[in-house]
Structure 1
């Protein structure tokens, strides 16, 4: 049976309805603030603050990057005070905009965890194990849950490989404070079916909440079928898309009968 994870006042898992997570992103704090303010007008449960778009090139000094991130989280918090925040630094290797070393990645996520400005933190499991351990230690100390994520923007792994990936994620942190997220790019309808099948199997086997996504137009059905196939949240837009195939939050809420 799935153990629920609380992100602010929003529960993921335990048979609750599909949560709607809206990414907010922009190249400046002011743009982030504007996009966050839009969330007050639509049925969004959680805001994902995409911080990588703010950080520019790989040579940004650590202190400057940390200051920028903290300023951005404060701005989004002020613009949308009733929404819990999921802080994400999506790196270039996972479809984001920032190339960063494992050490800097761990330092920045640790700073976010300690800041108290986010209710949850995205952690890319493809980073070096030492970096992952450092971040998970910081989140445990701070008491905030994590979204353990893996993204395949070029392809869809075989069904058994996807299931193994989700199972591996659940070994990294206990179910009451970790969500396993897997996003893939389908090349054919069979890829979408493989993702949905792996998700359903994982939901039946594992205690952790799951977020499973087939991206692009071909995979849109996966964003709507979470309650059937085991995904506890779906991503939708209030501003710019952060991944191909995302619906607007208003459209997704309507289709989910929210």
Structure 2
């Protein structure tokens, strides 16, 4: 059996794929409103997309907002994600600032999961995953390709590299150019998840890839993303729709 990653009682890698909903507010007020909305929907995880936050370049402002979100979200598991512009995010940080931001978020105790980008640099990623684990949080090591779907061999290599660099949960999201690319993504999901080293997260984006967001669990993806208000990536379904579909597929 795959190793289960348990976060606030949610067992990632077991049963029905878990649903994560992003927070993308730019201001404290918008985030407060979004957090209130998330308390009313049927989700498993919340993800704070810090790169959308207007004060994302201030560690102090981010940590203050993180503490407020933790309070507002109650016991909902929270993923802390600064997505760089090169991987589809809103802005860039240099490697030193990026590493510091993620370390401080993990040290705060307010983020349950830290998303670390795979191509930040092998040593930086290795050090961050070790530090995140030492601080009692879980690491997702992620890669996003908004231009294409690499070969199955390349996708498998990236997921395995994430694991080698210390990821508790490797994640990959890719853009399909045709339905065959979605099959490639699902095939690698099955291939790597069958190695049973722990949960992985995969998805194919845009309308063509929507099937991967609802059926990915059949092939071994442990978590999918839905939207409560604003989608953080192309192809995200509304969370209420997603829950109904998942319950039908995995009942």
TM range (shorter): over 0.9
Residue 146 (structure 1) aligned to one of 136, 139, 146: 139
1:55 offset after TM fit, Å?
4.4
Q: TM-score, normalising length from structure 2?
A: 0.95
* CA contact 1:237–1:247 (8 Å) conserved in 2: yes
Moved over 4 A (4+): none
* Deviations 1:24-53 (CA, angstroms, capped at 9, x unpaired): 111112211211111121110010011111
Q: What is residue 70 of structure 2 aligned with on the other side? A: 77
**CA contact under 8 A between 1:36 and 1:79: conserved in structure 2?**
yes
Q: Report 1:4-15 matches (<5 A).
A: 4-13=4-13, 15=14
Indicate which of 66, 76, 80 corresponds to 1:87. 80
Q: Which runs of 5+ in 1 are unaligned?
A: none
Alignment of 1:47-62 (within 5 A): 47-55=46-54, 60=57
For residues 136-182 of structure 1, the C-alpha deviation after alignment (integer angstroms, 9 at most, x for no partner) is 232122111111100001110011111111111111226xxx10100
1:248 to 231, 238, 243: 238
Q: Distance in 2 between matches of 1:56 and 1:158?
A: 38
Name the SS of the counterpart of 2:247 in structure 1: coil
Post-superposition shift, 1:79?
A: 2.0
* 1:189-208 alignment, distance < 5 Å: 189-208=179-198
Q: Which residue of 1 aligns with 2:206?
A: 216
TM-score (norm 1): 0.92
> Is 2:7 aligned against 1:2?
no
How well do the aligned residues superpose, as a CA RMSD in angstroms? 1.5
Equivalent-residue separation in structure 2 for 1:92 and 1:55 (angstroms)? 15
The answer as to whether partners of 1:56 and 1:98 remain within 8 angstroms in 2 is no
